[in-house]
A and B are shown apart, each in its own frame.
Chain A
């Protein structure tokens, strides 16, 4: 069984710089991490590798050269290999252009049985790319998955939805986006770290995945950022210190009444 895990390197902190001209993120930070939900996706792939025979796990990431660190870390955690999709022409891609690059790379790795990724990334937070990749590959997708079982040519999943969960069965090949509750990600091992140093991770550019400049980057993106601005975060706060007079509580009740929240 061939499993591809899509991972994204994201800033470990919230100090992200934006390019004021294009409105896209500048990715340079040193404290970058693997997107936390992608670690859950990786862990799920590694869980299947531990429980089934002949499972190969390949991580694929699009990003700057520094994203190699994320791929090496994934290998140190137990992935067999990885592909880095990198090149200046990829920069500024929106979710459609990114999905185009990822799906083209996956097609090159075909046959693939299962593609796993996090439900969303903590930086862009769109949660769109996974489903778009599935649409471009024309394979079934299941999103918000909190439990995954592999059967004979099918997978059965539990999707976390409003008010509960759904059980759905889909044929493979399929793409699954996972939520945090699916598992507890592991850690890199010493043996894994040593192996990660040895494993050659190819770097593919646009021509390697058969895409022309018009299909990728800003040019290949249907959306454009018009402007970025800082929202007003702080509110005018009415503050009370709790004491034995009961005033804080009665003022709160009055406040909620005046706003017609409680009657």
Chain B
């Protein structure tokens, strides 16, 4: 593999039902700064059927948009997505490709990396360029977030990484930007003979998808029982927030597994994380410690959760949370 043949930064955008997803703009933000450091073009691949508003991708920082257009790409299937992306990479030869660490990105990227025999680093929190080597530096938490590792892919291309959604802001809109939109048709090679998408079912217990949420209110064993846990849900409702939970709370059956945050659940980094009745075991911290702002409410002043918190209230959740809800409601009504 001649690494010099590969040039440019590509991000793998995401669409849901033909609408560009916000995570695409986050990727463009990261991609733009890498491309500028390298002095190369930034492109964005969008896989889907009909996709609205591809021009927005240009305004948010892409120089080129490749829309691989097919009804076989309307919903995510690993086979067609992998074949489309491998074909696009072989045609356009980007030196770097970045995707979101969503269920789609975390599935298609390893498949593509294995097909191309190149390296992939999952869940990066920081990306940079080594100016001397002109190489991508990929930093990610390892071992439950207790250690950070910086990783590179020196000998193969493209250099591939996924980044956690919500770990950066969306690229700002610049109306003066121009760029090129190319539609790629790959025809029958995208038809899957071995996979069939049946249906998507929204999970009603998950009104706000927690990994997409700006604010998460999360509860642990300190809430005592299912009734107590409802406090967390009520505070979340007032804040328009997602509901999170510790492993203990999930195992006690207070809420479903899809809300579990931590090593064996989801990793989140919202703007605000409110931990209620959570002691702060390392396993839980691993899933939330990159949150922008962390507020902890716990009656034990020595609880470990306070070490990662920006703001801590030592007190009984059953008194603090209702007061907080009242104060927030008053704020809303301007009273």
Q: Closest approach, in angstroms, between the C-beta of A210 and any C-beta of chain B?
A: 17
Cross-chain contact B315 with A235 (CB below 8 angstroms): no
Cross-chain contact B307 with A237 (CB below 8 angstroms): yes
Contacts A131-B110, A246-B323 given; does A224 touch B310 at CB 8 Å:
no
A253 vs B320: C-alpha distance in the bound complex, in angstroms?
A: 13
> Does any Cβ of B come within 8 Å of A31's Cβ?
no
Which stretch from A69-77, A119-127, A185-193 is at the chain B interface? A119-127
A52 vs B324: C-alpha distance in the bound complex, in angstroms?
A: 54
Contacts A125-B142, A239-B306, A248-B313 given; does A180 touch B215 at CB 8 Å:
no
Q: Which residues of B contact A125 (CB under 8 A)?
A: 122-123, 141-144, 263
Question: Which residue of the partner chain, among B110, B301, B309, contacts A135 with CB atoms under 8 Å?
Answer: B110
Name the residue of chain B whose CB is nearest to the CB of A250: B327
A135 vs B82: C-alpha distance in the bound complex, in angstroms?
A: 9
Cross-chain contact A162 with B78 (CB below 8 angstroms): no
Contacts A162-B102, A242-B319 given; does A230 touch B147 at CB 8 Å:
yes
Q: Which residues of B contact A250 (CB under 8 A)?
A: 327
Name the residue of chain B whose CB is nearest to the CB of A251: B311
Q: Which residues of A contact B320 (CB under 8 A)?
A: 242, 248-249
Cross-chain contact A164 with B314 (CB below 8 angstroms): no
Contacts A132-B110, A135-B111 given; does A165 touch B152 at CB 8 Å:
no
Contacts A14-B143, A18-B147, A124-B142 given; does A131 touch B311 at CB 8 Å:
no
A-B pairs, top 8 by smallest CB distance, nearest first, are A242-B315, A222-B119, A135-B114, A223-B119, A181-B257, A131-B110, A128-B110, A167-B198
Cross-chain contact A159 with B103 (CB below 8 angstroms): yes
Q: Which residues of B contact A181 (CB under 8 A)?
A: 256-258
Residues of B near any A CB (own CB < 8 A): 75-79, 82, 102-104, 106-107, 109-111, 113-115, 117-123, 137, 141-156, 193-203, 206, 209, 211-212, 215, 239, 256-258, 260, 263-265, 271-272, 282-283, 285, 289, 293-295, 301, 306-316, 319-320, 323-324, 327-328, 331
Q: List 22 A-B contacts (CB under 8 A).
A: A23-B149, A37-B264, A127-B110, A128-B120, A129-B110, A130-B110, A143-B78, A162-B209, A163-B203, A163-B209, A166-B75, A166-B198, A169-B195, A169-B198, A170-B195, A179-B257, A180-B264, A223-B120, A227-B150, A233-B146, A240-B314, A242-B316
Q: Closest approach, in angstroms, between the C-beta of B246 and any C-beta of chain A?
A: 13
Name the residue of chain B whose CB is nearest to the CB of A134: B111
Interface size class of A (residues with CB under 8 A): 35 or more
Within 8 A of B (CB), among A89-146: 94-96, 99, 122-136, 139-144, 146
Q: Which residues of A contact B75 (CB under 8 A)?
A: 166
Q: Closest approach, in angstroms, between the C-beta of B214 and any C-beta of chain A?
A: 8
Cross-chain contact B118 with A259 (CB below 8 angstroms): no
Cross-chain contact A252 with B152 (CB below 8 angstroms): no
- The number of residue pairs between A and B whose CB atoms lie closer than 8 Å in the complex comes to 258
Contacts A96-B113, A162-B209, A226-B152 given; does A261 touch B122 at CB 8 Å:
no
Question: Which residue of the partner chain, among A132, A143, A223, A252, contacts B103 with CB atoms under 8 Å?
Answer: A143
Q: Closest approach, in angstroms, between the C-beta of B208 and any C-beta of chain A?
A: 9
Name the residue of chain A whose CB is nearest to the CB of B319: A242
Q: Which residues of A contact B122 (CB under 8 A)?
A: 125-128
Cross-chain contact A162 with B211 (CB below 8 angstroms): yes
Cross-chain contact A136 with B114 (CB below 8 angstroms): yes
Query: B-facing mask of A164-184, CB < 8 A → 1, else 0?
Result: 111111110010000111000
> Does any Cβ of B come within 8 Å of A150's Cβ?
no
Cross-chain contact B272 with A165 (CB below 8 angstroms): no
Q: Which residues of B contact A234 (CB under 8 A)?
A: 307-308
> Does any Cβ of B come within 8 Å of A66's Cβ?
no
Question: Which residue of the partner chain, among B82, B109, B294, B328, contacts A235 with CB atoms under 8 Å?
Answer: B294
> Does any Cβ of B come within 8 Å of A212's Cβ?
no
Q: Which residues of A contact B137 (CB under 8 A)?
A: 226
Q: Closest approach, in angstroms, between the C-beta of B114 and any C-beta of chain A?
A: 4
Contacts A163-B206, A168-B198 given; does A229 touch B78 at CB 8 Å:
no
Question: Which residue of the partner chain, among A135, A140, A221, A261, contacts B119 with CB atoms under 8 Å?
Answer: A221
Q: Closest approach, in angstroms, between the C-beta of B285 and any C-beta of chain A?
A: 8
Name the residue of chain A whose CB is nearest to the CB of B272: A261
Name the residue of chain A whose CB is nearest to the CB of B109: A128
Cross-chain contact B195 with A168 (CB below 8 angstroms): yes
Cross-chain contact B120 with A96 (CB below 8 angstroms): yes
Question: Which residue of the partner chain, among B147, B282, B324, contacts A252 with CB atoms under 8 Å?
Answer: B324
> Does any Cβ of B come within 8 Å of A209's Cβ?
no
Q: Closest approach, in angstroms, between the C-beta of B163 and any C-beta of chain A?
A: 14
A130 vs B111: C-alpha distance in the bound complex, in angstroms?
A: 9
Name the residue of chain A whose CB is nearest to the CB of B1: A222
In addition to A161-B200, A162-B103, A162-B209, 9 A-B residue pairs with Cβ atoms within 8 Å of each other are A143-B78, A159-B103, A163-B203, A163-B209, A170-B196, A171-B193, A228-B149, A233-B285, A242-B314
A175 vs B113: C-alpha distance in the bound complex, in angstroms?
A: 17
Contacts A239-B306, A249-B320 given; does A223 touch B121 at CB 8 Å:
yes
